[in-house]
Structure 1
Amino acid sequence: MDNDSTARIVAGLEAWIAAAPPGAQVPSNRALMVEYGASPVTVQKAMRRLAGAGLVESRPGVGTFVRATRTTLPADYGWQTTALGATQSRVATLSSTQRAVNPDAIALHSGYPARKLLPEALVRTALVRAAKTDAAMTRSPAGGLPALQAWFASELAAEAARGVTPATTRDALIVSGSQSGLSSIFRSVVGPGHPLLIESPTYWGAILAAEQAGVTLVPVATGPAGPDPDEVERALARTGARAFYAQPRFANPTGGRWSSQTGHDVLEIVRRHGAFLVEDDWAHDLAMDAAPRPIAAHDDDGHVIYLRSLTKSVSPALRVAAVIARGPARERVLADRAAESMYVSGHLQAAALDVVTRPAWSGHLRGFRQQLRERRDLLLGSLREHAPIVQVETVPSGGLNLWVRLPDGTDVDAVVRECSLRGLEIAPGAEWFPAEASGPFVRLNYSGESPERFPEAARILGAVAGAATR
């Protein structure tokens, strides 16, 4: 009976706290005893639970107050990212985003959208049509099917700034997914033993591809608005790096988006240093509240190597992407791809081209983006209501993920394990850092199955994170 009374007081005060401003004084223990007809011990137990969840704080001799969690800024050690450099290779096992999970689990760890969000009818029909063409029985050119090369080039050319010579069909190389493209770029443009600037945090697959290519990672701290251009310039000057890998739009995992000014400044910096910007536009089709606007659209002198994939918006079974590069850099990437895999399946290329050139494709993208927006907002609202102890770093205007910071000092791996035991799968943030993690982060994908279970997921995360800080 005592436990029931405690739970009733906790539930009532949680509702009161949700509507109260940070710093508001909580009703006294005596007032709560009268309101709930509870003993002093029961009220004290309820207050300890609320304090353990990070919702209230006690000030001896004064009272108990709503904790100002939303206005307390966590310690920021991001400046150490560049100063300390990269650690030894840590990506030795399968990424947490790729692990198989119980079918009944709430899966927020994956990096792919739910099947129901993808254009299944278009893909199936395209595969059947492609099987009836010569592409199903002949070798594809090493650079890709010319029509698909032309489509990727025209997409980028449509964004070209005034006075900038747009990309051409020949500039585009078809690769079997962005992971394949990154591996070739790092091997052929950077090279083993040479330094590569890379945002921290960033896509774990880029870290893995770089490590396997034998390049030396030079991490540059980044945040919701991207890296500090001055820091990029200092890192290029100090290391002599010939390339900087970045995700200027809807970054994985942070959801960050560079401003136009940052993009302009970084492009000018790599030009001054005779270097390359490797622009990973992985989420081009996943824009919700902001246009993608690739930096490559402002480059016509070969300083930007641009990468765009269809895997997340068409189907994970159609691993088709394009690298757009100019001059000798293009030839090096092409030679590496030809040596690695000779060419991409013409059948898959033809099917991908069929999907993106159908009139229904634009309608699919509109609906897809709207559903992503709704899911994002549902997960955000669920976290605010049921897990106020965690902090969403930024509200992404595109992409698939929320980058969530747990309270300082939290054992992230322990939280991930406990959540898994309770039926919630999330991804620990450490694998997205080429150097030590700058804080206790987890990544949550809002595009997976069962968005109706987001409130349940938030309750589990809030309870586990709260218990971990006690």
Structure 2
Amino acid sequence: MGERSSVAELAAILRAELNRYSVGEKLPSSRALMERHQVSPVTVSRAIAVLAAEGAVVSRPGAGVFRAGPRVASAAAPADLSWQEVALSAEAGQPPARSTDSSGVLSALTVQPPDVIDLNSGYLHPSLQPERALAAALARAGRRPGAWERPPVDGLPELRAWFARDIGGHVSTSDVLVCAGGQSALTTALRSLAATGAPVLVESPTYPGTLAVARAAGLRPVPVPVDADGLRTDLLADAFDATRARVLVCQPLFQNPTGAVLAPERRREVLRIARAAGAFVVEDDFARRLVHADAPPLPAPLAADDPDGVVVHVRSLTKPSSPSLRVGALTARGPALARLRAVQSVDSFFVPRPLQETALELVSSPAWPRHLRTLAEALRERRQTTVAALRRTLPELLPDSSPDRPGLGGYHLWLRLPEGMDEAAVTAAALRAGVAVTAGRPYFAAEPPGSFLRLCYAFAQSPAQLTEGVERLARAIG
């Protein structure tokens, strides 16, 4: 049983037992709860935290946990918030109006009930996260001199140097700005490089978070199609000419959602076309540390082959470690870097120093490369298990080019539904059958060419659960 479900079950048991205690009466000690329910100290503390957040108990350090009194309902009249409808729509007549469609992002962040197999989340299951290494890194970081002092605005020099080495090529420490994860980096990049109302070229399909960031900044996403070899460079120059866009956002490695890797000849073309258009390429290199064990050597990032400052590189530690280690890097040169620094400093001042120190301790330890090797093996096994289950139960959804060929990485499969099948109906039926999958529509900036599903295999508890999840999906499709 996973830690998350154990916490939920213990919290439910304790919640049901609260009526045995009068208000202010002390509950059994943590040790007693551990022995009675055969759970770990972490499970007990997290279950108590759940009840404390609900207001059911009060935790007093050194004294114990006590039943809380009933909450007093507020007698105040409901607030009148209708004025906000006018205030938030005041710029609706100015093309394009800023809008924040968070549906695609929130879908990926939704925590499913324990009885639902999650083939939706893009994060690692806790069993795949380097929890011990993270805990040790956090403890060491807390003992570092000055760990709670204000960090440099650009980030800790040692962490910036590590990111520069990790990216390689022409990138130096002075080109790196530490940021609060990949999503924050994309937000800073688009707000810095494109004026409100401007077009921005995006892959089609693409990560919904990119579309959400662009629209929230008042930008107009313009799609450029992706095929099995990545971004269609034969259409890229036409898109730049037609729109006069000055920014392209792309994921050259293990693209989300298709998993495509940009072909070598197209890598050169992307840089050539962007340079000729006087445009920036925002390279979202989110999946580089999610390579599978059977993959050949990876191509270098576009930023490593770019001496002219065309590429603004985005790199994050979140995906291969933990959703809560929100530390990443933005890499740029010249006035673009100064613009990025200015926008980020206004938005958030800096990334908290304890988090940077923890990230530095993690990537500098021998546990980090060991974790990456273990993760590569686990992701390969999970991909193979998911593809095998699809071949048995839903072979018509697999693309002609096998997604199980060596060289893939990432954590997801992109499946096209048969003509006429409604993806919204399929995802709803799947959820009723006990498996969460992702509909394809949020991945398109314009009308999609068909119906699609994205299946993620990183957050399920085990390979066996992946097989069960695909079988539930097959039953839902009928």
The alignment's TM-score, normalised by the length of structure 2, stands at 0.76
What is the letter of the counterpart of residue 254 of structure 2? F
Contact (CA 8 Å) 1:390, 1:404: kept in 2 or not?
yes
Quick one: higher RCO (CA 8 Å, sep 6+), 1 or 2?
1
Distance 1:296 1:433 in 2: 26
Q: Out of 286, 291, 295, which is 2:290 matched to? A: 286
**2:147 aligned residue:** 136
**Unmatched segments (≥5 aa) in structure 1:** 1-85, 161-165
Distance verdict in 2 for CA 1:92–1:440, change over 3 Å: same
Offset, 1:454 = 2.1
Distance 2:361 2:440 in 1: 37
1:459 aligns with 2:478: no
**1:277 aligned residue:** 281
**2:194 aligned residue:** 190
1:389 aligns with 2:404: no
What is the letter of the counterpart of residue 91 of structure 1? D
Contact (CA 8 Å) 1:130, 1:351: kept in 2 or not?
yes
Aligned partner of residue 95 in structure 1, secondary structure: helix
**Percent same amino acid among aligned pairs?**
40
Q: Once the two structures are superposed, what CA deviation does each residue of 1:88-125 show, in whole Å capped at 9, x if it has no partner? A: 96824353212221112111010101111121111001
Report matched runs for 1:13-412 at 5 Å.
Answer: 91-93=101-103, 95-157=106-168, 160=169, 166-288=170-292, 289-290=295-296, 291-392=298-399, 395=403, 397-412=408-423
**2:23 aligned residue:** none
Distance 1:459 1:141 in 2: 51
**1:47 aligned residue:** none
Contact (CA 8 Å) 2:100, 2:215: kept in 1 or not?
no
What is the letter of the counterpart of residue 456 of structure 1? E
Greater CA drift, 222-231 or 333-342 = 222-231
Contact (CA 8 Å) 2:424, 2:439: kept in 1 or not?
yes
**1:57 aligned residue:** none
Offset, 1:445 = 0.6
Distance verdict in 2 for CA 1:190–1:176, change over 3 Å: same
Contact (CA 8 Å) 2:433, 2:476: kept in 1 or not?
no
Distance verdict in 2 for CA 1:292–1:124, change over 3 Å: farther
1:444 aligns with 2:451: no
Distance verdict in 2 for CA 1:447–1:144, change over 3 Å: same
What is the letter of the counterpart of residue 264 of structure 2? S
RMSD: 1.8
What is the letter of the counterpart of residue 415 of structure 2? V
Distance verdict in 2 for CA 1:240–1:183, change over 3 Å: same
Offset, 1:364 = 1.4
Distance 2:410 2:195 in 1: 30
Offset, 1:225 = 1.1
**1:21 aligned residue:** none
Contact (CA 8 Å) 2:124, 2:321: kept in 1 or not?
no
Aligned partner of residue 395 in structure 2, secondary structure: coil
Distance 1:451 1:255 in 2: 20
Q: Once the two structures are superposed, what CA deviation does each residue of 1:321-369 show, in whole Å capped at 9, x if it has no partner? A: 0001000000101100000000001100110111111122112111111
Distance 1:134 1:193 in 2: 46
Distance 1:394 1:245 in 2: 27
Distance 1:121 1:464 in 2: 38
Distance 2:384 2:260 in 1: 16
Distance verdict in 2 for CA 1:331–1:250, change over 3 Å: same
Distance 1:183 1:233 in 2: 25
Distance verdict in 2 for CA 1:415–1:285, change over 3 Å: same
Offset, 1:463 = 2.7
Aligned partner of residue 248 in structure 1, secondary structure: coil
Q: Out of 422, 426, 432, which is 1:421 matched to? A: 432
Contact (CA 8 Å) 2:191, 2:217: kept in 1 or not?
yes
Distance 1:427 1:135 in 2: 44
**1:40 aligned residue:** none
> Runs (4+) of structure 1 moved beyond 3 Å?
86-90
Distance 2:440 2:426 in 1: 12
Q: Once the two structures are superposed, what CA deviation does each residue of 1:405-447 show, in whole Å capped at 9, x if it has no partner? A: 1111111111111111111111111111111222111111111
Distance 1:377 1:259 in 2: 23
Greater CA drift, 311-320 or 130-139 = 130-139
Aligned partner of residue 418 in structure 1, secondary structure: helix
Q: Once the two structures are superposed, what CA deviation does each residue of 1:206-239 show, in whole Å capped at 9, x if it has no partner? A: 1111111111111111122112212100100111
Q: Once the two structures are superposed, what CA deviation does each residue of 1:122-151 show, in whole Å capped at 9, x if it has no partner? A: 100111111122453211111101100000
